[in-house]
Amino acid sequence: SQTIHQWPATLVQPVGSPLSLECTVEGTSNPNLYWYRQAAGRGLQLLFYSVGIGQISSEVPQNLSASRPQDRQFILSSKKLLLSDSGFYLCAWSAGRFSVDTIYFGEGSWLTVV
């Protein structure tokens, strides 16, 4: 069966520090990968998605970047964090791009920028 893991689960970072969140998927190949953010009291916003190695699309302009160095690895980064980057970050995957395909989420990473 397929599983998705992301880490770290929780982190507190000072303003201006770098960020790296990592996500890996097991049990499947060539998944579509996604990074979502859930800000406090708000819904989920798609940040990045990837349909293959090295292929990253950004949904909204922001202080973050994403990379996909391997087929089942997706990394969310920042060179200098802002207070507004605080939130709950969720990695997700799906087997295909058809609307019937379910998107599955990881456990999430809580980021607090202080």
Partner 1 sequence: GNSVTQMEGPVTLSEEAFLTINCTYTATGYPSLFWYVQYPGEGLQLLLKATKADDKGSNKGFEATYRKETTSFHLEKGSVQVSDSAVYFCALRRIGGTDKLIFGTGTRLQVFP
Binding site for partner 1 (CB under 8 A): 32, 34, 42-44, 46, 49, 57, 59, 90, 92, 94, 97-108
Q: State how far the Cα of 39 lies from the Cα of 45, in Å rounded to an integer.
A: 8
Q: Smallest distance, Å, CB 27 to partner 1? A: 16
Return the number of the residue (9 or 15) whose C-beta is nearest partner 1.
9
CB burial of 49-87 (b: ≥16 within 10 Å; e: otherwise) equals bbeeeeebeeeeeeebebbbeebbebbbebeebeeebbb
Return the number of the residue (13 or 104) whose C-beta is nearest partner 1.
104
Return the number of the residue (35 or 113) whose C-beta is nearest partner 1.
35
Residue 19 in contact with residue 77, Cβ under 8 Å?
yes
Q: Smallest distance, Å, CB 107 to partner 1? A: 5
